[in-house]
Amino acid sequence: MNNTKKYVKKIISKINKCVNIKELNNLKLKYLGKNGSITKKIKNLKNININQRKELSISINIIKKNIIKFIFIKKNKLINLKQNKLSFKNNIDITLSSKNILSGSIHIINKSINKIQKFFSNLGCEILFGPEIENDYYNFDSLNINKDHPSRNSHDTFWFNKNFLLRTQTSSMQIRTMEIKKPPIRIIVPGKVYRNDSSLTHSPMFHQIEGLIVEKSINFSNLKWIIKNFLFNFFKKKYKIRFRNSYFPFTTPSAEIDIFHVKYNKWLEVLGCGMVHPIVLKNVNINSKIYSGCAFGIGIERLIMLKYNLFNIRSFFKNDFRLLKQFK
């Protein structure tokens, strides 16, 4: 037993003299590796008589446990020493608290679009996307918008040439969809639209969601129910709502929907809608005597501005964290 203690003490001394992890690992292999001295002694136990084997196995086990224990202790000391040297070299105070990590979030416009899509998906609407560069047939002609309509002028529309433009509305997807699909049709079309206008409440680019439902028994009462429930779902409060007579070339009758905002003490327009014009249905070979349709267009930024009392539409595009972090 005295010999065992001396042997252990000798090995501990060697362990403590190691100055890096590599030396420590080499020392471990020397004693406990596949061909290490302690490993060989364990293998040779089978060649010793039973009485000596018992006593020697106890000694070997003590030595092995001590080697593992003190190598572990030394290894932690070397690691901590290395970290401290590194911190000192880089002038890092590891006792300082860490900085707050600023996590990103979905932009309020995308978040609102996702919410609107979910509402209309629950009504069975398919979500479609269309081209942002459109031709005048799908953007104007097929929607019953005459050649002399003011919206065709360059002061309102971004034209590439006499045939192609940046779409002014997602309504063009009504025609593209009805050309390849037959009723019943239920779709919504979210996307960017472009108009040559810039002010506190208007942007040259903004987001719109177009809705279209074409079936045999759709009427204006169905449209009113859809719009009322949508507005309640979006604003989470029951505003006074009114349907005001209006005119859109591609719907008849047409209406603009206003809500009464208590804070401003006045009616505010939120979206436009109407029953699909028979001429529009005729343009895509759908019999207006059998089928009827309703359509609506939602300006996303306008709804968000009303919901959160924002006054400048340009705030959405400035990437101002003071504004954006409010909508996490």
Give the whole-angstrom CA distance, residue 254 versus residue 182.
24
> What pTM value is reported for the model?
0.66
Largest Cα–Cα separation, the chain: 114
For residues 173 and 188, the answer to whether their CB atoms sit within 8 Å is no
Angle subtended at Cα 157 by Cα 152 and Cα 161, rounded to the nearest 5 degrees? 80
Q: What is the DSSP string of 189-228?
A: EEEEEE-S--SSS--SEEEEEEEEEEESS--HHHHHHHHH
Is 275 in contact with 223 (CB distance < 8 Å)? yes
Residue 230 φ/ψ, nearest 5 degrees: -65, -45
- CATH code of the region 108-327: 3.30.930.10
List the chain pLDDT tens, one digit each, 328 residues.
567 788 888 888 888 888 888 888 888 888 888 888 888 888 888 888 877 888 888 888 888 888 888 888 988 888 888 777 766 556 666 666 767 776 777 888 999 999 999 999 999 999 999 999 999 999 999 999 988 888 888 778 999 998 999 999 999 999 999 999 999 999 999 999 998 887 766 788 999 999 999 999 899 999 999 999 999 999 887 778 899 999 999 999 999 998 887 777 888 888 999 999 999 999 999 999 999 999 999 999 988 888 888 878 888 887 777 777 777 6
The answer to whether the Cα torsion of 310, 274, 219, 244 is positive or negative is positive
Residue found by looking up tokens 């987001």 in the block = 207
Domain ranges of the chain: 2-89, 108-327
- Residue 94, token pair as written in the block: 């590891």
Q: Are 248 and 272 in contact (CB under 8 A)?
A: yes
Copy the structure tokens of residue 262: 């208590």
d(CA 136, CA 169): 12
